[in-house]
């Protein structure tokens, strides 16, 4: 594609920091990982930060450290990248989906309450919500700050408090976002960030757990390192652990990116403003939601088609952009409609009309710090032209999954 969907912003500082580690000979378990963790914790505003191999492994260790297991369930969103539900499945826990808000595309707290009152009973002896049929306990809410827009954390924390639920934030798309002046990732018991190359900060592959809870931090530190006991000998293992360690090479890349984070986020903000200006009077689309409660760190610029035949228009727009060599992606097909997920749903088939609607209408446009104004102009002009043409499909189209190969996620 002439204009890619995303591209990491790698400069001289990144090359220098990574080269220094290469020359040092200390490629793993060296000093760069803890330096990255310390600086990241300071930026995120949490007491602890634990670096791991990906956002997915960060989520997985949080689930494990919170003790969420085979007898448990957690409420989350189906309008997300699969990792936010998979992390529960890894531990035998069941993700239970609540519908989203059509504008913010984030979990709707009212729908969480609906799920709770319809499907669960409060068990006073266990101090827990228990599913009416399966008898499993509802242990947590797992909000995802989708496309960088913070969830309604005040309402989510209120529900969590009322029903004794943990809150695990998937902040993988929201590094730097604030809700009511406070950084996301600091609201829950723990949070996960991801550093894949399309994210606001990249380490190529990598992730970070942040928490203020000493025990969760200690548990995650041990689990990422084969369940080692930090105080004792190298070959003493106190738990079934993993090798989820981030290397010093990756950490050095992260340190360079973190030093430049304000510049990287400002570029993204500027591009979003340019898209808003260029697309503001294009009929038939809805632009990303802005909120006075939040300042959003821009992960992606995602528009929605609107009106009659909105889903067909989205697919037509996607095909038209691809034909012009402009990358775009239908973020996100609902998790509960993924082929592998249908087998997992057991007897419960959620009805998530707003998740389905968003999945049919959303389209992520090219978005990366080095994007030029000319490229924004080209993409916006293409969107405008394609929408003024007749985008009704000649043939029936697949509902959720486009045939085109994805780039990245």
Ligand X SMILES: *Cc1c(COP(=O)(O)O)cnc(C)c1O
Q: Which two tokens stand for residue 173?
A: 């798309």
Contact window for ligand X (CB under 6 A) among 52-60, 116-124, 134-142, 339-347: 52-60
Does 129 participate in binding ligand X (rule CB under 6 A)?
no
Catalytic residue among 39, 199, 313, 399: 199
Using the rule CB under 6 A, is 84 a contact of ligand X?
Answer: yes
Q: Is 64 a catalytic residue?
A: no
- The answer to whether 55 contacts ligand X (rule: CB under 6 A) is yes
Binding status of residue 196 toward ligand X by CB under 6 A: yes
Strands 207-211 and 182-183, by their bridges, are: unpaired
Q: Quick one: angle between helices 310-323 and 353-361, nearest 10?
A: 30
How many helices, marked H, and strands, marked E, lie in the chain? 13, 15
- Considering only 173, 189, 360, 378, the residue that binds ligand X (CB under 6 A) is 173
Q: Are 138 and 131 in contact (CB under 8 A)?
A: yes
Residue 177 interacts with ligand X (CB under 6 A): yes or no: no
The pair of structure tokens assigned to 171 is 């902040």
Alpha-helical runs (H) found in 66-125: 83-89, 109-119
Q: Which two tokens stand for residue 170?
A: 């998937």
Number of residues that bind ligand X (CB under 6 A): 14
Q: Rank residues 169 and 274 by Cβ distance to ligand X and give the closer one.
A: 169
Contact flag: residue 144 with ligand X (CB under 6 A): yes
**Closest to ligand X by CB, 199 or 314:** 199
d(CA 275, CA 253): 29
Q: Work out which of 78, 80, 128, 247 binds ligand X, going by CB under 6 A.
A: 80
Order of strands, sheet of 182-183, starting from the edge strand that comes earlier in the sequence: 182-183, 178-179, 294-295
Q: Does 62 bind ligand X (CB under 6 A)?
A: no
CA distance linking residue 46 with residue 149, whole number of Å: 20
> Nearest distance from residue 87's CB to ligand X, in Å?
8
The distance of closest approach from Cβ of residue 146 to ligand X in the complex, given in angstroms and rounded to an integer, is 7
Phi–psi pair at 306, nearest 5 degrees? -135, 170
Question: In the complex, which residue's CB is closest to ligand X?
Answer: 55
Strands 94-98 and 72-77, how do they pair? Answer: parallel
**150 part of the interface to ligand X, by CB under 6 A:** no
If one asks whether residue 202 binds ligand X (CB under 6 A), the answer comes out as no
315: contact with ligand X by CB under 6 A = no
For β-strands 72-77 and 137-142, DSSP reports them as parallel
Decide: 77 and 106 in contact? Cβ < 8 Å.
yes
Q: Among 8, 207, 241, 316, which residue sits at the site for ligand X (rule: CB under 6 A)?
A: 207
Q: Which is nearer to ligand X, 83 or 278 (CB)?
A: 83
Q: Identify the residue among 72, 101, 170, 274 touching ligand X (CB under 6 A).
A: 170
Smallest distance, ligand X to C-beta of residue 170, A:
5
Tell me the closest approach of the beta carbon of residue 151 to ligand X, in angstroms: 12
Least distance (Å) between residue 28 CB and ligand X: 19
Structure tokens at 18: 């990574």
**If we measure between CA atoms, which residue out of 274, 280, 401, 388 comes closest to residue 341?**
401
Question: Whose Cβ is closer to ligand X: residue 303's or residue 319's?
Answer: 303
Please provide residue 228's backbone torsions phi and psi, each rounded to the nearest 5 degrees. Answer: -75, 150
Q: CA separation (Å) from 250 to 13, 14, 34, 39, 276?
A: 13, 10, 12, 15, 34
Nearest approach, Cβ of residue 366 and ligand X (Å)? 17
Cα 61 to Cα 57: distance, rounded to the nearest angstrom: 6
Give the range of 51-59, 128-136, 155-163, 256-264 binding ligand X by CB under 6 A.
51-59
- From 76-84, 106-114, 134-142, 240-248, give the range in contact with ligand X by CB under 6 A: 76-84
Binding site for ligand X (CB under 6 A): 54-56, 80-81, 83-84, 144, 170, 172-173, 194, 196, 207
Give the catalytic positions in this structure: 199
């Amino acid at each position: 594609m002439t204009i890619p969907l995303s591209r990491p912003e790698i400069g001289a500082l990144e090359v220098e920091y990574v080269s220094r580690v290469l020359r040092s000979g200390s490629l793993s378990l060296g000093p760069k990982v803890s330096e990255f963790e310390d600086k990241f914790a300071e930026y995120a505003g949490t007491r602890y930060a634990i670096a791991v191999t990906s956002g997915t492994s960060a989520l997985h260790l949080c689930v494990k450290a919170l003790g969420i297991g085979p007898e448990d369930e957690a409420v989350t969103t189906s309008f997300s990248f699969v990792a936010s539900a998979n992390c529960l499945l890894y531990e035998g826990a069941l993700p239970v989906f609540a519908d989203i808000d059509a504008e913010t595309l984030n979990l709707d707290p009212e729908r969480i309450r609906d799920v709770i009152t319809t499907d669960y009973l409060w068990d006073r002896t266990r101090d827990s919500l228990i599913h009416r049929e399966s008898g499993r306990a509802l242990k947590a809410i797992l909000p995802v700050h989708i496309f960088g827009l913070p969830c309604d954390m005040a309402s989510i924390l209120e529900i969590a408090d009322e029903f004794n639920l943990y809150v695990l934030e998937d902040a993988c798309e929201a590094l730097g976002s604030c809700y009511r002046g406070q950084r996301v990732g600091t609201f829950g018991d723990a949070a996960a960030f991801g550093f894949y190359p399309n994210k606001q900060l990249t380490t190529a592959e990598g992730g970070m757990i942040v928490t203020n809870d000493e025990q969760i931090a200690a548990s995650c530190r041990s689990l990422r390192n084969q369940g080692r006991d930090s105080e004792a000998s190298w070959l003493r293992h106190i738990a079934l652990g993993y090798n989820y360690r981030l290397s010093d090479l990756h950490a050095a890349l992260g340190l360079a990116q973190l030093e430049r984070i304000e510049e990287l986020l400002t570029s993204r903000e500027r591009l979003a403003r340019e898209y808003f200006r260029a697309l503001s009077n294009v009929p038939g689309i809805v632009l990303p939601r802005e909120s006075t409660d939040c300042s959003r760190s821009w992960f992606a610029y995602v528009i929605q088609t609107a009106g009659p035949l909105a889903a067909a228009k989205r697919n037509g727009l996607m095909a038209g952009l691809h034909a012009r060599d402009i990358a775009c992606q239908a973020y996100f097909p609902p998790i509960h409609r993924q082929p592998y997920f249908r087998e997992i749903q057991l007897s419960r088939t959620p009805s998530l009309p707003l998740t389905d609607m968003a999945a049919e209408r959303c389209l992520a446009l090219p978005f990366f710090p080095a994007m030029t104004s000319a490229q924004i102009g080209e993409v916006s002009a293409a969107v405008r032209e394609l929408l003024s043409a007749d985008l009704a499909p000649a043939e029936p189209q697949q509902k959720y999954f486009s045939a085109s190969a994805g780039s990245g996620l």
